[in-house]
Structure 1
Amino acid sequence: MQTTKSNWLESYSTRQVNDELFYLNNGLKPYWNQLFTIIDRLGVSGLEARQKDIDWLLAENGVTYNVYNDPLGMHRPWSLNVVPFVLHQQEWDLVTQGIKQRAEILNLVLKDVYGENKLIKEGIIPYEVIYGHRGFLRQCAGMQLNTEKYLSIYAVDLCRGTDGRLWVVHDRTEAPSGMGYALENRSTLNRILPEMFTEMNIKSHAGFFQELDQMLVDAAPGKMEHPNIVILTPGSHNETYFEHAYMASFLGYPLVQGNDLVVRDGFVWMKSLQGLKRIDVILRRVDDAFTDPLELREDSHLGVAGLLDVVRRKNVSVINPVGSGVIENTGLIPFMHSIARYFLNEDLILPQIASWWCGQEIEKNYVLENLSKLVIKRIDRTNRESIYFGEFLNPEELDALKKVIQQRPYRFVAQERINFSTSPNFSKGAMEPRNIVARAFCIAAKNDYSVMQGGLVRVSPNTDTIRVSNQRGGTSKDFWVLQDTPIVQEVTMRSQKKTPIAISGLNDLPSLTAENLYWAGRYVGRTLVTARFIRVVMRQMALVQNTREQPDSEKLKVLLKAVTHLTGTYPGFTAKDKDGTNAMDDPMQEMLTVILDKEKVGSLAHTINMFGNSYYSIRNLWSSDMWRVFKNIQKIWNALLEGKDHSVNHILKVLNQLITRLIAFMGLIEESIMVQQGLLLYFIGLQMEQSMLTIIKSRALLAIKYNEQVEYYLLEYLLTSHESLNIYRYSYRSHIQLEHMLDLVLLDMDYSRSLTYMMNRLLKDLAHLPHSVEDHQLINYQQYVMEAFSKLRSAESTELAKTKSPDDFKRETLVVLLEELSELLHKTSQAISNTYFNHTDKQKQMVNQSFPI
């Protein structure tokens, strides 16, 4: 191909010799030239538009990366640059062979470390490199696995050295991350830059993920044909939780947490609504030491007590095996050449960074003498310790580091300071060189290893930053491997799955997922009902501001007290606070607290936060449309919290937007998941919450008899907050009367917002839960709801509206009914939780063990 000068490269300047665009002799690589030919056609404005489309699409799809202690908060949007990283197939083929070789070497090291220990016995590696590494778990010694390869998934970080070859920077073996992000990056660029995929021969990822799926199936004990496979996640606060949920959704495996699994009779079982379901393969994303609180870290809430015992019995396969973190070990790098010769009688194909292990006297002395020129690392990264760049340390810091190394030299490795290669990155309308690290992925495939065609590229946040890390604000690139011949289209996933691993019904639903669905329904219902009622109250407060009506009018006082009862933010408007202040003296201040204070349990802000948490916990179940609406809700609400305009009118505007989007969100839920796949639990939670809040509102506004004018307003407020005013007018064609309102809101069997209708709906939904179906008789939670339903069916609105005497102010019959209904629903909630969501008591070790933090 003839090389032409791209307009973009006229201003492109790099301070490094090893820029990805050029050969060492400064000639432009032809495949980059091909890419820039297309980029030239787009121009600055076209490329900027595509970058905006990428940012928008990632945000719309909810692609996030959690950055620890990020001032921007959790769930930071994933960043993908419009310009990919490209390599030619010819170079990649050689790299692929090197990755396979390295995976096999580390596989044999892992097998040896927990097996015969020949490497240590025969002096190939010092024992401190293994036993001084915090990833070594003596509990895993002697374990035999179901898989031929002990190392099933391997990732390696690569960068280009000054010799023009790709070098190994890091090995990732414990629970390698990034495959899901690589898949999402490819999907995004394919949609935004289709012309590039049409004109350039880009190798596909599809075959790799088919092999990943098959590898998990083949890992099952006894090579069973239809194993049950799950993905074990630490939870929604983990940095790569998006990837866990994404892979679970893409592959069709249940996403579980430690509390979803339990060990019984030498097997691992998933706690579903119906009972225990045996699990055969666990793809884990939980770090080694946290996987089994019975044998490893006792304080872990992420693992499964007794898991290691089941692994020893070969009754479950864990991918990667527990203990594999020990080979994620920079201390092995100086010895990898000797290990390769020992196991394979081969030289390493991929070069490594020159490294010196400080546990050897000569090497330690060299390191101490040249500290300012080297990069110092610990042999393990289980605590995310800092990497020390000697050139950036002052004399005092260098002395301090020397003392630390001398105290425990075996824990440190020094490496040659190398410059990462740079690659073109589109930023602020121009191309600029940024440091990059490419992560490649490899999985066990029968007797060999298979390497993804491409991978994930991480980019430094600016041109002056050496460190390349997502935790430090880096971005990403799609990784293209180009071939000369046209690509034959591949199926994105296999057409026929070998194993029925999709969640097909309530019996296959993990108990924690079921619980999160239930609480998602409750929090969505609570958010909507609370927002609607607060909107009614704020409207009245706005009227007070615009009229001569006194702010302490009786109807407004009743409404304000109802806010406290509904939200549970006591004492609120119901009594004086501990310091003697009365919220009624400054109702706007208390309302702002009830609306905006995230730390106040029951406030609208707190409820929205809990609604968000419940959503994130089960995001693998929801559709992309739901994510878009959800993000819009978060955006609207965060703008209110962070803004300075907290006037009544502005809050009303935000509440209107919030309510509209909540209703859209609730409508989309029914399109995202089938009833028997968990939507039933959401419905039960929603009906429970709306029923409870209907009771609280009715009691707060109707229990006491007021004068005719105040009572009329209170009835109107209740109907308005219940979104039932128009229904009432259409149904009764009269002024609002208490008896009619009670009939509509509490007793109507055909009105979907009435309490009786919701009780009947609850009865029907509860009957579909597994225990209810199997027992063929009402169990406790059904009995409670049936009793509540019966009380409502036998109630008469005329009796509920009465007081004992004309001079009495309390509607005793109504109050007693509402109290009884509230108690029955509370018992129902407890019974549902006890039956389906209570997890086993924490098992404890007989002897405490010390694991470094």
Structure 2
Amino acid sequence: MTVLRDYAAAVTQPPLDEDRPRRFDEVVGPDGSLRPAWKPLAELAVGLTPHDLYRVDGDIVRMLADEGVTYARPGERPGPWRLDPVPLVVDAGTWAPLEVGLAQRAELLNALLVDLYGPQRVLTERVVPAAVVLGHPGFVRAMAGARMPDSHPLVFSATDIGRDHDGTWRAVGDKTQAPSGIGYAMENRRVLSRVLPEMYREAGLHRMEPYFWALRSALMQAAPGEVADPRVVVLTPGTHSETAYDQAFLASTLGFPLVEGSDLVVRDGWVYLRQNRGRMERVDVVVRRVDASWSDPLELRGESQLGVAGLTEAARRGRVRIVNPIGAGVLESPALLPYLPAVCELLLGESLLLPSVDSWWCGDPAGLEATLDLVERDPDVRVVAVDGPEDGLTGLPRGELVERVLARPHHYVGRRDPVFSQVPSWSAGAARPRPVTLRTFTVRYGTAYRPLVGGMANVLDDIGTRSSSSKDVWVLKADPADADQGLSGVLAATPGRAAPVAAPRVLEDLYWTGRYAERAEGMLRLLLVTHGTAEDFRSRPRTAGGTSLEVLLGAQSRLAGRRHENLDAEFRSLLLDEDRVGGVGHSVAALRDALSGIRDQLSVDTWRALGVIDRAVTLLELSPASHQIAEAAGRHLTGLLSLQGSSANMMQDDGWRLLSAGRWLERAIQLCHLLVATTTERRGLDVDRAVLAAVLDAAESGVTHRRRFRGYVRPAGVLDLLLLDPDNPRSLLHCLTELRTHLGRLAGSTGSTRPERLLEHLLSEVEAQEVSSLVAIGGTDRPLLTTFLEETLERLSTLGDAIAEHHLSSGPPPRPLNSLTVLDALPAEPVTGTIPVITDDMERPPGIPPRVPRGGARREGDA
């Protein structure tokens, strides 16, 4: 048997609960035959065996991991995005009326938005109770009465829909504040088209790429006034947002900068994007992925560090277009659903084509009575809050539920969810029926609202409340000659090439990317050498090899401290512990954080390199064997070297130069620490030779040394190669020379800046050194070498501070406005505390701290 045959046999069995309506199945009809959408794919789809889907599912997991596709459930850490291998297929005849209903719904939501912040006819004519709107936190009073930029302020929206037991599509809810998911939808399509290429080619479905072209054009056209070359940015809450990948994907695909609130500033009513060295560029359109209440600390929530002070006033003046407008979140209230048919009649003069799920607002006495009556006897009726998730009401005893609803009836809505249609979901070696909803997207393109022909399906758990995985949505063409997305041409988006802009935050992320990548690489090379020595000499402590092992362990401790006496536990800690400053785990975690902040500017090769590291970590965690430590460290190193290779293909602008400068600075620091711990003391001829050989391997200079000195290891030769050889990429002199090249080409360099002066002085000191003096013995150590290395480390640290201050500083960090008092005129301690993260439309509760500014977080443990 094949997967779909087994599935069809299972779903055509009589239902266990005869009183509950049978779910509409998206693949199999009541008679057990395939639905019309699946018939063109029957030959390929029916032939899929469990072995085939095991392979496809494994390929999907690997591809998503390699591309770094993540999603964070509310209150959880980011985890891998999950994609089911079986698509949701919809035929053209089914999609056509749905597309009309979605377009009308977007038109209705736009008209309602204009009315609520303008004449408010729906309130004055009592079509919608005033408390439904004015009592909702999404209604922003600061924008009431503001002049809308045009008659269609709602540019982009999303609607969650599902099919009832009879196949009728119903709207479950609308997303208008910061609609997310279209990036995930496109990623689903990219992955599934590669793992099921035969089915994809045979299907004849609408490709998604033209819709992104239309979306980009629509955002450019949304700029206020007559702007020849509008600047569009995507405003993100930062890397802690649960849909950070979706935001970065959207920015990267559309070619717009992904910015945080600190990257923007309002001056004289205009919004500007900060650039390096105090320069600014005017912004015309802000694609907002930050909730409205957090978007402007000046007029909304004063404690917000995620918004832009003055953004609301700039929008009121019509000097910037915000997509979607501040205040659009009120349209997401489930309390509006019962009134949308009447609103549609009033504002559009039409009947509502796409019905919503049955809902009752409890602030209305009739709605309260209906809700309390139905919630007890109808299992599909539940109570939800008007401003978020279910508010912990699910599963409450009736008495407690009634008490809570009666205490704040206007805060709750009764809702009867449909018996959502079901799809085959691959799990544990079989395709099992699971309920499904579909997120659709609509953009104002040209003079009409255009729904995306497709979307993102969410497979729900058994009780139908939480997404367990996603599905790609394949909408088939009525005719193979039909234009994809019905778009035969896309309006011009920009008249010419736009110059790339790098905000100070982006430059800082790139600088620390270079430093953390090199820090991790240096520790990995030392760990590999130390582990190899330990394999031979951990049981022979009194030998020369055993003594050299202690020296190498001391070098590790100098860079990352010591946590475990057991050597395997110590090595594992260095590789895995993210809280161990100086260890590989800490450096890779910080590297990933820096890269996440600039994901929109990076190629997929970057995430493939990190995927290699992730798989190495997984293997190490699963295997207790000692040899797996070296295997995992080697895989880590492979990933980091791949990352270095991908950075070589970046545009060689200021960002790339700062990344390179960070790498060369960190390499010099790591080398000096290694040499201080291993070469400044005498321990006997045999021990010194073993230690020096290990140092050469850890500094990736062993082959060069053997070729030059024919394997004869002496301190003078080693120090000459690692300190003063201008042709050795691992030498101190070479690192400083490369650092001078990259610093000198930065926009803020003049030849006389403090970083350049410090570097020139350090270079002259290094070039003046004589190896014969450095290796001179004074008792049991080499005092001149010790002094030189320690002073060099101090100067490198000062140089790093100077680089950050001159090239990365963009002024003091923002402070919450509600923390400012008259005492701020006096010296005060820095403001501390936890600022809740902005939620986007996937309902993340507040309470997670915002992204920490780089400068403060990275001082801990920095050499």
TM-score computed with the length of structure 2 as normaliser: 0.87
Report the residue type matching 1:666 in the other structure. Answer: Q
Say which of 724, 727, 738 aligns to 2:701.
Answer: 724
Equivalent residue in structure 1 for 2:586, among 590, 597, 606: 606
Aligned partner of 1:483 in structure 2 is 477
1:412-423 correspondence runs (5 A): 412-423=412-423
Question: Is the contact made by 2:203 and 2:476 (CA closer than 8 Å) also made in structure 1?
Answer: yes
Partner of 2:510: 517
- Inter-partner Cα distance in structure 2 for 1:285 and 1:401: 34
Summarize the alignment of residues 301-340 of structure 1 with structure 2, pairs less than 5 Å apart: 301-340=305-344
Query: Do 2:23 and 2:419's aligned partners in 1 also have CA atoms closer than 8 Å?
Result: no
Q: Give the structure 2 partner of residue 447 of structure 1.
A: 447
- Residue among 259, 272, 277 paired with 2:275: 272
Partner of 2:207: 204
Distance 1:588 1:206, change over 3 A: closer
1:341-360 alignment to 2 at 5 Å? 341-360=345-364
Residue 399 (structure 1) shift: 0.9
Q: CA deviation at 1:380?
A: 3.0
| 1:640 paired residue number | 620
- Cα deviation, 1:443-474, whole Å, max 9, x if unaligned, reads 1123321111111111124xx3322x33xxx1
Asked if 2 retains the 8 angstrom alpha-carbon contact of 1:6 and 1:37, the reply is: no
Change (3 A) 1:782 1:109: same
Q: Is the 8 A contact 1:295 1:845 kept in 2?
A: no
C-alpha distance after superposition, 1:777-836 (max 9, x if no partner): 321111111111111111111122224xxx534433323322332222212211222233
Which of 373, 376, 387 aligns to 2:382? It is 376
**Aligned letter for 1:519?**
W
Q: 2:760 aligns with which of 786, 790, 794?
A: 786
How do 1:652-801 residues align onto structure 2 when only pairs under 5 Å count? 652-671=630-649, 673-676=650-653, 678-733=655-710, 735-772=712-749, 776-801=750-775
2:119 match: 116
Alignment counterpart, residue 45 of structure 2, candidates 39, 50, 53 = 39
* Alignment of structure 1 residues 10-409 onto 2, 5 Å: 10-13=9-12, 15=15, 16-21=22-27, 29-70=35-76, 74-76=78-80, 78-274=81-277, 275-372=279-376, 373=378, 375-382=381-388, 384-386=389-391, 388=393, 393=395, 397-409=397-409
CA contact (8 A) 1:228 1:501 kept: no
Residue 215 of structure 1 deviates from its aligned partner by 0.9
Q: Measured at CA, do residues 539 and 310 of structure 1 come closer, stay the same or move farther in structure 2, by a change above 3 Å?
A: same
Tell me which residue corresponds to 1:576.
none
Instruction: Tell me the equivalent position of 2:18.
Output: none
Q: Deviations over 1:653-692 (max 9, x none)?
A: 3323322332233223213x22227322221111111111
Structure 2 CA distance for aligned equivalents of residues 496 and 351 of structure 1 = 32
Q: Which amino acid aligns with 1:669?
A: S
Residue 546 of structure 1 deviates from its aligned partner by 4.8
Contact kept, 8 Å, 1:13 with 1:433, in 2: the verdict is no
Q: Distance in 1 between matches of 2:693 and 2:341?
A: 82
Are 1:466 and 2:464 matched, yes or no? yes
**Which residue in the other structure is 1:562 paired with?**
555
> Structure 1 CA distance, aligned partners of 2:426 and 2:620?
33
User: How far apart, in 1, do the equivalents of 2:502 and 2:739 lie?
Assistant: 20
Aligned residue for 1:578? none
Query: Shift in Å at residue 208 of structure 1?
Result: 1.9
Q: Distance in 2 between matches of 1:86 and 1:592?
A: 47
Q: 1:618 aligns with which of 598, 606, 620?
A: 598
Shift of 1:327: 0.9
Q: Give the partner amino acid of 1:833.
A: A
Residue of structure 2 in register with 1:845 after alignment: 817
Aligned AA (1:845): L
- Going from structure 1 to structure 2, the CA distance change for 1:831 and 1:375 (only over 3 Å counts) comes to farther
CA distance in 2, matches of 1:60, 1:169: 34
CA deviation map 1:179-213 (0-9, x unaligned): 11211222223233333344333223233222111
Instruction: Assess if the C-alpha contact under 8 Å between 1:293 and 1:844 holds in 2.
Output: yes
TM-score normalised by length of structure 1: 0.88
Q: Is the 8 A contact 1:53 1:192 kept in 2?
A: yes
Equivalent AA in structure 2 for residue 530 of structure 1: M
Instruction: State how far apart, in whole Å, the 2-side matches of 1:184 and 1:433 are.
Output: 24
Question: What corresponds to 1:577 in structure 2?
Answer: none
Whether the aligned pair in 2 keeps the contact of 1:85 and 1:457 (CA below 8 Å) is yes
- Residue segments in structure 1 that go unaligned for 5+ positions in a row: 574-582
Residue 54 of structure 1 and its aligned partner are, at CA, apart by: 3.3
Task: Say if 1:62 and 1:627, in contact at 8 Å, map to a contact too.
Answer: yes
The CA deviation string for residues 366-417 of structure 1, in whole angstroms up to 9 with x for no partner, is 32233212633445344x344745xxx46xx211111111111111111224
**Does the C-alpha gap of structure 1 residues 28 and 696 become closer, same or farther in structure 2, counting only changes over 3 Å?**
closer
Partner of 1:580: none
Q: Is the Cα contact below 8 Å between 1:504 and 1:677 reproduced in 2?
A: no
**Contact 2:158–2:441 (Cα < 8 Å) also in 1:** yes
CA distance in 2, matches of 1:308, 1:733: 71
Q: In 1, distance between residues paired with 2:495 and 2:630? A: 49
Taking structure 1 as reference, are residues 37 and 736 closer, same or farther at Cα in structure 2, changes over 3 Å only? closer
Percent identical: 31
8 Å contact kept, 2:229–2:495: yes
Deviations along 1:3-54, whole A, 9 cap, x unmatched?
xx96863343374242234678988532233333431244554444444433
Residue ranges of structure 2 left out of the alignment (5+ in a row):
16-21, 822-834, 837-844, 847-863
The residue matched to 1:177 in structure 2 has which SS? coil
Post-superposition shift, 1:709? 3.4
Q: CA deviation at 1:642?
A: 5.2
On the 8 A contact 1:175/1:284 being kept in 2, the answer is: yes
SS in 1 for 2:748: helix
Instruction: Note if contact 1:145-1:317 (Cα within 8 Å) is conserved in structure 2.
Output: no
User: Is residue 523–residue 611 contact of structure 1 (8 Å, CA) maintained in 2?
Assistant: yes
Tell me, in whole angstroms, the C-alpha distance in 2 between the residues paired with 1:186 and 1:236.
24
Match of 1:814 among 763, 781, 785: 785
Amino acid across the alignment from 1:794: A
Superposed displacement of residue 741, structure 1: 1.8
Letter of the aligned partner of 1:326 in structure 2? V
Cα 1:479–1:650, aligned 2, differ >3 Å: closer, same or farther? Answer: closer
Cα distance in 1, alignment partners of residues 656 and 488 from structure 2:
26
Tell me the alpha carbon deviations over residues 128-156 of structure 1, each in whole angstroms, 9 at most, x when there is no partner.
Answer: 11122121222222333434412111111
> Deviations along 1:71-121, whole A, 9 cap, x unmatched?
xx5232x22223222223233222222112211221122122222222222
Counterpart secondary structure, 2:648: helix
Query: What secondary structure sits across from 1:311 in the alignment?
Result: helix
Question: In structure 2, what residue type is equivalent to 1:692?
Answer: I
| Cα distance per residue 1:478-515 (max 9 Å; x no partner) | 2222233113565999899733898855xx11222221
Compute the RMSD of aligned alpha carbons.
3.1
Distance 2:372 2:153 in 1: 37
Residue identity in the other structure for 1:296: L
> 1:62, 1:294 → 2: CA distance?
36
